[in-house]
Structure 1
Amino acid sequence: MNIISLEPVDQDRRSMFLDYLLLADESDEVVKQYINDGEMFSICYEEIKVGVVLFTFHSSHIVKLKNIAIVEEYQGRGLGKLVVKEAFNFYQTKGFHKMTVGTANSSIANLAFYQKVGFRMVEIKKDFFKNYPRPIYENGIRALDMVMFEKNLLPGE
């Protein structure tokens, strides 16, 4: 039995998950720009809603992990890793070839997490976070650049 489940979130219910999305993206304004894009799933652990994940699509073969957030009391249990690996399988069976994700240069834990689940660094978008309404600091570092990762979903890669 799977300890997590991903439940689709309809467009009319997405605003109920704004606080979850803000755990991973500090800008209310930015989150509101993408909250209705793509496919959103609530993350349930032992039938308790513990987070949310949102995927967007930029081509017929590439899916982007736009936001994944798990409430603090459930972090560190491997749930995020299970969600991402389930997403790899789900989108591979839907015909996607690649999954991408980006995180801030200051998000040390995220940089490690994405590599641990199989993503590879492919690009740095310099000054990406300068467009945010307010500066973001994590780990004593200002978030300025977006580090982009990708994971091939094709069998054998």
Structure 2
Amino acid sequence: MLIQSVPSAEAPLDLLLEADPSLDAIKRYLEHSMCQVATIEGKTVGAYVIQSMGNGVCELMNIAVAPAYQGKGIGTKLLEHAVHMSRELGARRLELGTGTFGYQLAFYQRVGFRVVAVERNYFLTHYDEPIYENGIQHQDRLRLALEF
């Protein structure tokens, strides 16, 4: 698997939409972010987007793996790459936002991310359409952080 940087204009929007259903939000944060794409034999299988927030903090804005390639360790490799890239950018901390339940929470916690805040009603106020997972509507967003 090859992970390499691509210009924001070449970011795989269809893949990023797997993790964030708001195309407007994705386009907004891509303008000021770095996109890394994972390929296997020339096929895009995953991507992540990080943004430097200043003061030694980067934020993981999006991380996604194509459905056919999930469960094969690609997401973990992308997350580890994002941590490494953040360190190279001079960050001392990598932050992210995610739902309060679901496989994503355990995914981040396995790598060492810890909950640092709860943003009540985030998904209700920031998305036009409700977001459901396993029949449950996402309402609050957790802020997680990994200190280096």
Q: TM-score, normalised by structure 1?
A: 0.86
Q: Deviations 1:96-123 (Å, cap 9, x if unpaired)?
A: 10001111124x1001100011111111
1:47 is displaced (CA, Å) by 4.1
Q: Alignment partner for residue 96 of structure 1, among 69, 91, 98?
A: 91
- Report if the CA contact (8 A) 2:119-2:141 is conserved: yes
Q: Which segments of structure 1 move beyond 6 Å, counting only runs of 4 or more?
A: none
Q: Deviations 1:49-80 (Å, cap 9, x if unpaired)?
A: 10211001211410111100110111101111
Q: Partner of 1:129 in structure 2?
A: 123
Q: TM-score, normalised by structure 2?
A: 0.91
CA RMSD between the two structures: 1.5
Structure 1 CA distance for aligned equivalents of residues 112 and 96 of structure 2:
11
- Report if the CA contact (8 A) 2:60-2:82 is conserved: no
Task: From the superposition, tell whether residues 90 and 29 of structure 1 become closer, same or farther in structure 2 (CA, over 3 Å).
Answer: closer
Task: From the superposition, tell whether residues 60 and 6 of structure 1 become closer, same or farther in structure 2 (CA, over 3 Å).
Answer: farther
Unmatched runs of 5 consecutive residues or more in structure 1: none
Q: Percent identity among equivalent residues?
A: 31
Structure 1 CA distance for aligned equivalents of residues 83 and 9 of structure 2:
26
Unmatched runs of 5 consecutive residues or more in structure 2: none
Q: Deviations 1:15-64 (Å, cap 9, x if unpaired)?
A: xx110110001122322322322101111235431021100121141011
User: What pairs with 1:42-81 in structure 2 (closer than 5 Å)?
Assistant: 42-81=37-76
Q: Partner of 2:100 in structure 1?
A: 105
The one-letter code of the counterpart of 2:5 is P
Structure 1 CA distance for aligned equivalents of residues 34 and 24 of structure 2:
19
Q: Partner of 2:81 in structure 1?
A: 86
Structure 2 CA distance for aligned equivalents of residues 115 and 68 of structure 1:
15
